[in-house]
């Protein structure tokens, strides 16, 4: 729990801020920008507030840089009484005040910023526009001086502003990261039977360029799934799933129009759309969810009902896809089953392999190759069955299993040989490729610095 402040704590903090302002203006003879957060109630700190503060600080520094304002000194404090940043600036007070007001008014979270400009004589430059109430939007001090809104109302409004600010950022980041993972998946070489940098595998109608074009067209879809998840995190998972299903159908149309009718990413649209939505549902502005188990469980909550209804209602007549036929003939549930069961192949198999390889110093390419082999070895890929029939599919995944049982990380030469064997039999583990993209994305989201 964050520490609570008393009236006395706040008075002391204000005094020490004033004394620091005097010291800095005295030392340089320049104005000082005093940036604090406008947070009501006894708790002034926490992950979400800190992220908002850091973002405000970045914005301020960026605008000062753009205005060619020299910085004499900057001093930040992260006490329980609230985050503060003091900047002695080599610029005209009125210009600095304009910069501060433009940041305060230029974004949802800016409403929570107090950016004052203190002149060398100790006076503050007055605002040009009166600020508005964060709860009802009325201008002037009426609401705060008459205590019109309850603390709860004010805190809820504060949370909403922070959400609004970072939901947009994080959904865009998630969309970009999914597309990056899809491109890393197609670049991973060698991959048995799949399109990679060496060859187009068992596919005559696809190449890496087509995959990249297709992936770029899907960025806004993945960002959208994330945003829908975050905005509707209190709604029932099954209902949210219906919303992203609609988005998924539009994304498929876009993919087919970009690829001229070739199915490059249908499985990825399904799997990574659900994962993006699941991360959105678990999202909090100060703390993006990074636990793959929790993310897998949320995927299961989203997809469970729809998947069981789909398979229950399936008959030979109704079967439309190779995945449907694989279920009727062999009992395989494919990527639908993976999602409904919480991504067990990824969370328990390929992600730990990828992580272990990365930690042991393998490149992302080689780590991803080994993660893929472990997925193929599970023998659950419906594309393999659809293309080669039961016997060929089982024998091919057995060959992979045999190879990695002998040696967990075999030489890439041996995998190139597997690639040739898969191509001769026209086999392609397309479902595993989608799961590999999901593995790479989750690795980067959960364990790397960029998330
Ligand atoms: Zn108000």
CATH number, domain containing residue 87: 3.30.70.260
CB-CB contact of 362 with 370 (8 Å):
yes
In a domain, 288, yes or no: yes
Going from the first residue of the chain to its last (451 residues), give the mean pLDDT of each consecutive group of 10, the final group possibly shorter.
92 96 96 97 96 97 97 97 97 96 95 96 90 90 86 95 93 97 98 96 94 97 97 95 97 97 96 98 88 97 94 89 88 94 98 97 98 96 90 95 95 96 95 97 87 46
In a domain, 222, yes or no: yes
In a domain, 160, yes or no: no
Q: How many alpha carbons fall within 13 Å on the CB side of residue 244?
A: 35
SS3 (DSSP) at 133? coil
- The contacts found for 212-217 with CB under 8 angstroms, 24 or more apart, are 212/183, 212/186, 213/258, 213/259, 214/255, 214/258, 214/259, 214/264, 214/265, 215/179, 215/182, 215/183, 215/186, 215/264, 215/265, 216/179, 217/251, 217/254, 217/255, 217/258
In a domain, 158, yes or no: no
CA of residue 235 to ligand 1 center, whole Å: 29
Residues 104 and 191 in one domain: no
Residues 203 and 106 in one domain: no
Q: Residues with Cβ < 8 Å from 378, sequence gap 6 or more?
A: 345, 349, 397
Residue 140: what pLDDT?
A: 79
C-alpha span between 336 and 300 (Å, rounded): 10
Residue 385: what pLDDT?
A: 92
In a domain, 232, yes or no: yes
Residue 450: what pLDDT?
A: 54
CA of residue 149 to ligand 1 center, whole Å: 6
Residues 118 and 179 in one domain: no
Q: In angstroms, what CA-CA distances link 275 with 30, 107, 300, 385, 412?
A: 51, 29, 10, 25, 30
CA of residue 151 to ligand 1 center, whole Å: 12
Residues 316 and 242 in one domain: yes
Nearest to 166 by CA among 300, 37, 311, 55: 55
Residues 352 and 378 in one domain: yes
Domain's final residue, options 106, 121, 149: 149
Residues 94 and 174 in one domain: no
CB-CB contact of 270 with 279 (8 Å):
no
Residues 206 and 257 in one domain: yes
CA of residue 112 to ligand 1 center, whole Å: 14
CA of residue 133 to ligand 1 center, whole Å: 5
Residues 272 and 364 in one domain: yes
C-alpha span between 207 and 201 (Å, rounded): 9
Residues 254 and 192 in one domain: yes
CA of residue 83 to ligand 1 center, whole Å: 24
CB-CB contact of 314 with 327 (8 Å):
yes
Domain's final residue, options 94, 120, 149: 149
Domain that includes residue 99, residue range: 7-149
Q: Which residues surround ligand 1, an ion (CB under 5 A)?
A: 133, 135-136, 138, 143
In a domain, 1, yes or no: no
Number of domains in the chain: 2
In a domain, 340, yes or no: yes
Helices (H) and strands (E) in the chain, counts: 18, 4
Domain's final residue, options 149, 179, 213: 149
CB-CB contact of 421 with 182 (8 Å):
no
Q: Is the peptide bond before 190 cis (omega within 30 degrees of 0)?
A: yes
Residues 144 and 188 in one domain: no
In a domain, 46, yes or no: yes
Residues 421 and 353 in one domain: yes
Residues 176 and 232 in one domain: yes
Residue 128: what pLDDT?
A: 83
């Amino acid at each position: 729990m964050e520490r609570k402040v008393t009236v006395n704590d706040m008075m002391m903090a204000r005094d020490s801020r004033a004394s620091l302002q005097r010291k800095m203006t005295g030392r340089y003879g320049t104005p000082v920008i005093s940036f604090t957060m406008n947070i009501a109630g006894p708790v002034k700190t926490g992950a979400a507030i800190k992220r908002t503060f850091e973002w405000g600080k970045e914005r301020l520094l960026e605008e000062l840089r753009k205005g060619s304002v020299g910085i004499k000194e900057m001093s930040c404090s992260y006490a329980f009484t609230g985050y503060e940043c003091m900047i002695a600036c080599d610029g005209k007070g009125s210009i600095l005040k304009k910069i501060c007001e433009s940041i305060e008014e230029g974004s949802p979270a800016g409403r929570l910023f107090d950016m004052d400009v203190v002149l060398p004589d100790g006076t503050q430059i007055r605002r040009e526009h009166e600020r508005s109430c964060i709860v009802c939007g009325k201008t002037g001090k009426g609401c705060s001086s008459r205590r019109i809104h309850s603390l709860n109302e004010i805190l809820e409004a504060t949370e909403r502003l922070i959400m609004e600010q970072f939901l947009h950022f994080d959904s865009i980041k998630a969309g970009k990261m999914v597309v990056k993972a899809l491109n890393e998946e197609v670049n991973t070489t060698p991959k048995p039977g799949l399109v990679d940098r060496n060859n187009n595998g068992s596919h005559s109608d696809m190449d890496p360029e087509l995959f990249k074009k297709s992936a770029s067209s899907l960025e806004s879809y993945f960002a959208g799934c994330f945003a829908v998840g975050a905005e509707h995190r209190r709604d029932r998972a099954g209902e949210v799933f219906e919303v992203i299903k609609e988005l998924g159908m539009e994304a498929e149309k876009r993919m087919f129009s970009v690829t001229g009718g070739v199915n490059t990413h249908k499985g990825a649209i399904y799997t990574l759309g659900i994962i993006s939505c699941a991360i959105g549902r678990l999202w909090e502005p100060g703390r993006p969810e990074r636990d793959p188990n929790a993310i897998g469980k949320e995927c299961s909550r989203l997809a469970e009902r729809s998947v069981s209804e789909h398979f229950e209602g399936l008959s030979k007549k109704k079967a439309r896809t190779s995945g449907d036929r694989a279920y009727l003939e062999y009992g395989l549930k494919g990527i639908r089953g993976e999602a409904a069961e919480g991504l067990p192949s990824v969370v328990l198999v390929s992600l730990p392999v990828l992580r272990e390889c990365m930690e042991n110093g393998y490149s992302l390419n080689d780590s991803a190759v080994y993660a893929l082999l472990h997925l193929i070895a599970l023998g659950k890929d419906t594309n393999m069955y659809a293309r080669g029939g039961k016997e060929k599919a089982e024998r091919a995944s057995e060959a992979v299993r045999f190879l990695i049982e002998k040696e967990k990380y075999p030489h890439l030469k041996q995998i190139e040989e597997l690639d040739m064997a898969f191509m001769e039999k026209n086999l392609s583990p397309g479902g595993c490729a989608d799961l590999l993209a999901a593995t790479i994305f989750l690795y980067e989201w959960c364990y790397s610095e960029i998330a």
